[in-house]
């Protein structure tokens, strides 16, 4: 489909909304709805093989059977995420070498998380980096603390115990339950915080308006230094507390069940990409 301008493959992310061209065929294999744009109205241009979870299915008025899981859960089946010098990824909890921390990419862009992570004694994993390198870094963690949903999803898929930080921006929170409900998992969020004044402001209602975003853009270079040490110290304490919290991991039974269902839909997609799942 990459070479076909008339088709768009939506395989991951909170992208099932109205931003897409009505004239293009949208082939969906695991993406979800996140509330970032107006909800899509599904018509004949949407070919749904499966969606991320039951919340997306309900929101888009699909059969609950369409909410099978996030495609990132399939990474180990593609041979990705074998930890270096730690042993094969055989389904047991990982015994990696360090505690990793992945902030949401927006938090990292506006905050001082590199400094806070160093102070807290955890290894920063930049979600904006090379995907293969990110997966390898997560695979080598003893535990991952993550504000980014897909950091946790990848860690869980690789059997790396994880701790979820409550995202600073409320809009990033609800989508987590979409994935978790597939695995019958209750996420025990640890308190999140801002590592800089600019990060806090970007997550506030001020950034919801165009004028507010413009003001933040103009003043950010100056605001970055305001109370910097206090914000960084507070963020480092939050990271240390999160790293000391009991980590979570989904059950292998639930994970295998979700993977099997997604693999069945992938086989159907390979045979006929433009034929939607039965009972949509």
Give 250-278 pLDDT, tens digit per residue. Answer: 999 999 999 999 999 999 999 999 898 88
Question: How many Å is the Cα radius of gyration of the chain?
Answer: 20
Helix (H, G, I), strand (E, B) or coil at 182: helix
Say yes or no: 190 and 207 in one domain: yes
Do residues 68 and 50 touch, judged by C-beta distance below 8 A?
yes
Both 129 and 241 in a single domain?
yes
CA torsion angle 77 78 82 88 (round to 10)? 40
Q: Are residues 35 and 150 in the same domain?
A: no
pLDDT of residue 202: 73
Only one residue has tokens 């905050």, namely 111
> Are 142 and 195 in the same domain?
yes
Looking only at the bridges linking them, the beta strands covering 98-102 and 123-124 are: parallel
Same domain, 131 and 264: no
**Beta strand 141-146 pairing with 123-124:** unpaired
Q: Are 62 and 45 in contact (CB under 8 A)?
A: no
Judgement on whether residues 154 and 36 belong to the same structural domain of the protein? no
Residue 94 predicted with pLDDT over 70: no
pLDDT tens digits for range 13-31: 999 999 999 999 999 999 9
pLDDT of residue 198: 84
- The verdict on 114 and 243 lying in the same domain is yes
Mean pLDDT, residues 198-220: 67
Residue 79 sits in the same domain as residue 169: yes
What's the domain count of the chain? 2
Does residue 12 form part of some domain? Answer: yes
Residue 279, in any domain of the structure: no
Structural domain boundaries enclosing 189: 75-251
């Amino acid at each position: 489909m990459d070479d076909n301008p008339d088709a768009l493959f939506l395989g991951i992310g909170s992208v099932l909304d109205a931003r897409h061209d009505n004239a293009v065929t949208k082939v969906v294999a695991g993406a979800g709805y996140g509330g970032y744009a107006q909800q899509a109205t599904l018509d004949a241009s949407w070919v749904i093989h499966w969606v991320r979870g039951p919340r997306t299915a309900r929101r888009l008025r699909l059969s609950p059977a369409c909410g099978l899981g996030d495609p990132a859960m399939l990474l180990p089946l593609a041979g990705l995420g074998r930890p270096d010098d730690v042993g094969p990824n055989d389904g047991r909890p990982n015994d990696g070498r360090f505690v990793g921390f992945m902030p949401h990419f927006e938090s990292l862009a506006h905050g001082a998380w590199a400094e806070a992570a160093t102070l807290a004694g955890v290894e920063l994993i930049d979600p904006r980096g090379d995907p293969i390198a990110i997966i390898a870094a997560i695979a080598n963690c003893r535990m991952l603390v993550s504000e980014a949903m897909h950091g946790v999803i990848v860690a869980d898929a690789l059997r790396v115990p994880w701790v979820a930080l409550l995202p600073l921006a409320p809009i990033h929170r609800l989508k987590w339950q979409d994935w978790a409900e597939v695995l019958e998992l209750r996420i025990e969020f640890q308190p999140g915080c801002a590592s800089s004044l600019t990060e806090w402001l970007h997550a506030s209602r001020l950034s919801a308006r165009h004028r507010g975003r413009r003001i933040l853009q103009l003043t950010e270079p100056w605001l970055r230094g305001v109370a910097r040490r206090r914000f960084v110290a507070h963020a480092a304490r939050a990271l240390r507390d999160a790293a000391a919290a009991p980590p979570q991991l989904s059950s292998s039974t639930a994970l295998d069940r979700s993977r099997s269902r997604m693999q069945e839909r992938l086989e159907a997609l390979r045979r006929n990409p433009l034929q939607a799942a039965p009972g949509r």
